[in-house]
Structure 1
Amino acid sequence: MTRVLIVEDDSDIRGMLARGLEAEGFSVGVAERVDDALVAARENAPEAVVLDITLPDGSGHDVCRSLREGGYPGAILFLSARDEIRDRAEGLALGADDYIVKPFVFDELLARLQTHLLRRKEADSPRTIVTAGRLVLDLTVRQVSFGDASARLTPREAELLALLMDQVNKPISRGDIFDKLWATQGGLSLNVVDVYVGYLRSKLSDFVRFGGPVITTVRGKGFMLDLRGQDFRH
């Protein structure tokens, strides 16, 4: 039975989510505070966390950050009344898989949750290492290395880099990237692709001085992981 942890201080929302998910066959745990959420996640190892941002003793951002820094591999979905683009961007940058704005429709939350759980399951398949030349991406620990240089990535950064590595030296359009990684998330625009390409470029910047790859912008065609001039293989 798939385990889901709900971190929400509003008892009405918490109860509605718990009843709805239990009716769908999930095993549900609940927490109202940051400390309780971290303990529950550590002890019960849920496959997914549905997480409010405003909590009595702190922020859901702190929960997300602590979980990802601790290597938590499950899906994290923010559920918040904050609806500004910067709020969504901050949540996703911390390693969340999705950001759902209150008020929300339960069926949509359920669909998104199931999509992310399936994506995580597929990511746990035997394909855990992606290579392109000397660039090596370990999807299990989300670490990319080039020679002696290495960097840790967020889950979405790792997915984006794997996509670019699979099409090395070939441009991928913003639309195709968006469809593969963000199509299930409402309220986001193509600009999220540019944001995450920027994050990746920053993470890979140290690799460039060792002759590492560059993510280039191909005008009118999108983005490309440029390994031209190097011997490479998948």
Structure 2
Amino acid sequence: MTRILIVEDDVDIRGLLARGLEAEGFEVGTAACVDDAIQAARDPAPGAVLLDVGLPDGSGHDVCRSLREGGYPGPILFLSARDEIRDRAEGLALGADDYIVKPFVFDELVARLRTHLMRRQQAEAPRSRLTAGRLVLDLDTRQASCGEANARLTPREADLLAMLMEGIGKPVSRADIFERLWASQGGLSLNVVDVYIGYLRSKMADFVRHGGPVLTTVRGKGFMLELRGPDFRQ
């Protein structure tokens, strides 16, 4: 159950929000001041924060700034009677995801909250499928495909290809590849990167003929997937 932290010093508004969100299936935590809000947002962190701007010991801006500087990743929605453009701009500039002006319609608030929660979950979800032009890599099955060409990769080959696809069009150094994929194993040298680049080139040979990216060596910089043919736009 997703926990929502309500930071609101008005007892009536805080109570209405808490009861309404609980009826919508959320777990609710509350705070009425800056210090309590920052404390309540610590482990375990809430799924989202509804944050009033005017608080008795400071501003909701202080809470938002503190949470973002501390690495809090969840949605922060300001709820405020201040409706000037500069107020909204300031709140969003501090890292808030939304700014809702009081009085508001509760159903709209819940709809916006759910939208922000869904977007955050999608952004944090591990990707099981990568694409680069016509090249597709399924990380679950380790199957790479381009048009009618297919190749089954080993776990390490799939990791290497994924790393190159994430930086499509940019060189990735031998050192960076080694650090990410092999440094923790011990007893290996940078040469292992060249060996696996060779394996990958061999398995991707058919992809180039189907308009897929080319695995190139960039002198002095490392290796790069380069889009060419139908997928290339200069």
Code of the aligned partner of 2:87: D
Code of the aligned partner of 1:67: L
Shift in CA distance, 231/100, structure 1 to aligned 2, threshold 3 Å: same
Distance 2:54 2:171 in 1: 40
CA drift of 1:125 comes to 1.4
Code of the aligned partner of 2:119: R
Distance 1:135 1:50 in 2: 42
Code of the aligned partner of 1:47: G
Unmatched 5+ residue regions in structure 1?
137-229
1:152 — aligned with what?
none
Distance 1:232 1:15 in 2: 57
Corresponding residue SS for 2:42: helix
1:111 — aligned with what?
111
- List per-residue Cα deviations over 1:115-140 (Å, max 9, x = no partner): 0000000001124995454499xxxx
Distance 2:55 2:62 in 1: 10
1:49 — aligned with what?
49
1:14 — aligned with what?
14
Name the stretch that deviates more: 100-109 or 126-135: 126-135
Corresponding residue SS for 1:51: strand
Code of the aligned partner of 1:110: V
- List per-residue Cα deviations over 1:181-225 (Å, max 9, x = no partner): xxxxxxxxxxxxxxxxxxxxxxxxxxxxxxxxxxxxxxxxxxxxx
Corresponding residue SS for 1:44: coil
CA drift of 1:44 comes to 3.1
Corresponding residue SS for 1:117: helix
> Does residue 116 of structure 2 align to residue 80 of structure 1?
no
Which one has the largest radius of gyration?
Answer: 2
2:144 — aligned with what?
none
Distance 2:110 2:15 in 1: 15
> Does residue 2 of structure 2 align to residue 2 of structure 1?
yes
Corresponding residue SS for 1:21: helix
Code of the aligned partner of 1:83: D
CA drift of 1:13 comes to 0.5
Percent identity over paired residues: 76
Aligned residues: 140
TM-score calculated relative to the size of structure 1: 0.56
Code of the aligned partner of 2:63: V
Shift in CA distance, 132/59, structure 1 to aligned 2, threshold 3 Å: farther
Code of the aligned partner of 1:57: D
- List per-residue Cα deviations over 1:50-88 (Å, max 9, x = no partner): 000000000000100110111101110000000001111
Corresponding residue SS for 1:43: coil
- List per-residue Cα deviations over 1:95-149 (Å, max 9, x = no partner): 100000000110000000000000000001124995454499xxxxxxxxxxxxx
Corresponding residue SS for 2:18: helix
- List per-residue Cα deviations over 1:150-181 (Å, max 9, x = no partner): xxxxxxxxxxxxxxxxxxxxxxxxxxxxxxxx
After superposing on structure 2, the runs of 4+ consecutive aligned residues of structure 1 that deviate more than 3 Å are 127-136, 230-233
Shift in CA distance, 231/4, structure 1 to aligned 2, threshold 3 Å: same
Q: Map 1:96-107 onto structure 2 (within 5 A).
A: 96-107=96-107
Corresponding residue SS for 1:99: strand
Q: Map 1:124-143 onto structure 2 (within 5 A).
A: 124-127=124-127, 131=167, 133-134=169-170
Corresponding residue SS for 1:16: helix
Q: What CA RMSD, in Å, does the superposition of the two structures yield over aligned residues?
A: 2.2
2:154 — aligned with what?
none
Shift in CA distance, 125/84, structure 1 to aligned 2, threshold 3 Å: same
